[in-house]
Amino acid sequence: MITYKSRADVPTQEKWNLEDLYSDLNKWEQDLSQIEKMAADLKQFDGQIHDGKSLYQFLKLQEELSYKFNHVYAYSMLQVDQDTRETSSQSLLDRAKGLSVKVSSATSFFMPFLLSLDEETLKKYINEENGLKYFEDDLFESFRYKAHVLSKDQEEVLSQLGEALSAPSNTFGMINNADIKFGEVTGEDGEKVELTRGMYSKLMENEDREKRKEAYKAFYKPYLQLKNSIASTLSAAIKNNVTMAKIRKYPSALEKGLFGDNVPKEVYENLIQTTKEHIAPFHHYSKVRKEKLGVDELRQYDLYVPLSGVKQEISYDEAYETMIKALAPLGEDYVETLKQFRDSRYIDVRETPGKRSGAYNLGVYGVHPYILLNHRDDLNSLFTLAHECGHGVHSKLSSQHQPQITARYSIFVAEVASTVNEVLLINYLLKNEKDEEVRKHLLNHFIDQFRGTFFTQVMFAEFEKLTHEKAEEGSPLNVEVFNEIFEGLYREYYGDEMVFDEEVKYGWSRIPHFYRPFYVYKYATGFASAIHLATRILEGDQETLENYLEFLKSGSSDYPLELLKKTGVDLTTPLPIENSLRKFSELVEEYSLL
């Protein structure tokens, strides 16, 4: 694996080109100043919108501000992420965040104003001013919220409570990221060293079972010590959400969480129910894993160790070429777009000191996507590349084919494009691999990805549903209640092959996503949708391919469920979930025979 001691050592071709956003800092400063002025101008519209012309002037200026602000914010964020130690970059990001607060404050009057209008008045304004046709769908979409928006004074009070309402999430963030100190583990030289999150992930893949067990116990130790504090923050977060749902007159917290994407609660319930009805292959996988590992008992610290000793070194150039070949079924235009990503430096490839960890895609309307990687020349990095390029192409095509107002796609559909790429990649690798050990390694990789992105997220989604229902009933939420629900679900999903350590029931205490309620289910629906689509594309279904490419160009031009229906995926029925679970069953069956 290539390692770099400094960002300056990385070849220019493997670093993203931020000059596509701003050629120099002066231009960034100019936009920042201009946005401040535009925000002040927007504030002047408060109480002054009386006809179609003034409404159009406000919306047009707001969109122009949004365009500039997205560029200003993206530039400062990307600067920070390429070296988080750089104080000058942190200063840029702090200024961009401060500007965001000013913009929100300047425009906070508008939604209560809009929803104070009756529908006839809004239609009259649109007929008066031709330019409002561009904003028409968005304006009427806001009307969906009318029953859930309070008076101007009440909204003002709620906005002032924002910081207090986010306190449970912020408190957990401080506990989880700043205060928690993990127990000690035995280092390579036999000395005791303090465990870190990065070490934990690596140790969970260690072939030495005692090392895995030691790391597992050490990792959970502080969560058990702080169990009552964390239970209090999670309980408060759930109760806040339930209270806000009541204040805003939603039937339930779940329906409030689904409202933005216009998803009926039956989709959420169908995901959980269909998964549980077809859980047997997942139980079978626990048995297969236990047999392959050769252990008497399968425990939680046995779930992440690879079942094959194969370690493939795949250079970045080789990974890129492999990805291009694997994604050829998506057509020439798609492949050409991928080549442009590399040639025009949309991607920041290498891990360097101070660089943000992980990977992401950031679409910037009017410029292009920016992709952050920490490429390590291995199989995981190859899959991460294909995954993030899926998001990147989705961003690029939506920006090219949609106006700014509908270019950004919903998180609900985001994981579809990335996972379709991964399914096509695993199919290509398996088709072209003759070595049985490598095939085992690939199958194991995909099965474990299925577990993490699908089954685990469905289990988490059910935990959120059950805990919010408890709060809505007025039942207490504490350590014992969380433990009982979480352990019950874990046993249900993982089956009888698992032997449960005391720590398993405390799994809820370390999940940041629980502070952003009813979000994780989107990973599972996105994953299932992608399996469904990729399978059809690989079967040569030309209509599905054409519909899928149109979907990538659609941004948020329709509600997520409707966009997916146009590709042939109907999540209001069990079919896409059943198809993906059938695929999982086939993978486990094939793997068990190797």
Q: Are 65 and 353 in contact (CB under 8 A)?
A: no
Active-site choice (163, 210, 321, 388): 388
d(CA 71, CA 28): 9
Question: Does residue 472 come out as left (phi exceeding 0), alpha (psi in the -120 to 50 range) or beta?
Answer: alpha
Q: Are 106 and 58 in contact (CB under 8 A)?
A: no
d(CA 576, CA 529): 6
Q: Quote the DSSP letter at residue 348.
A: E
Structure tokens at 27: 């231009």
Q: Is 512 helix (H, G, I), strand (E, B) or coil?
A: helix
Structure tokens at 210: 């005692």
Q: Are 247 and 239 in contact (CB under 8 A)?
A: no
- Residue 78's closest CA among 169, 7, 146, 126? 7
User: For the chain, what's the residue count?
Assistant: 594
Q: Which residue has the tokens 């150039």?
A: 317
Q: Does the annotation count 388 as an active-site position?
A: yes
d(CA 369, CA 417): 14
* 51, 123, 271, 579 from 274: Cα distances, Å: 51, 43, 5, 11
> Residue 369: which H helix or E strand, with range?
strand 369-375
Q: Quote the DSSP letter at residue 502.
A: G
195-215 in b/e form (b: 16+ CB < 10 A) is beeebbeebbeeeeeebbbbb
d(CA 446, CA 430): 11
Q: Are 412 and 525 in contact (CB under 8 A)?
A: yes
> Residue 460: which H helix or E strand, with range?
helix 456-473
Q: Are 449 and 425 in contact (CB under 8 A)?
A: no
Structure tokens at 181: 């100190």
DSSP letters, 205-247, are T-S-HHHHHHHHHHHHHHHHHTHHHHHHHHHHHHHHHHHHHHH
- Residue 74's closest CA among 274, 350, 370? 370
d(CA 326, CA 164): 49
In a 13 Å sphere around the CA of 126, the CA atoms on its Cβ side amount to 16
Q: Which residues are catalytic?
A: 388
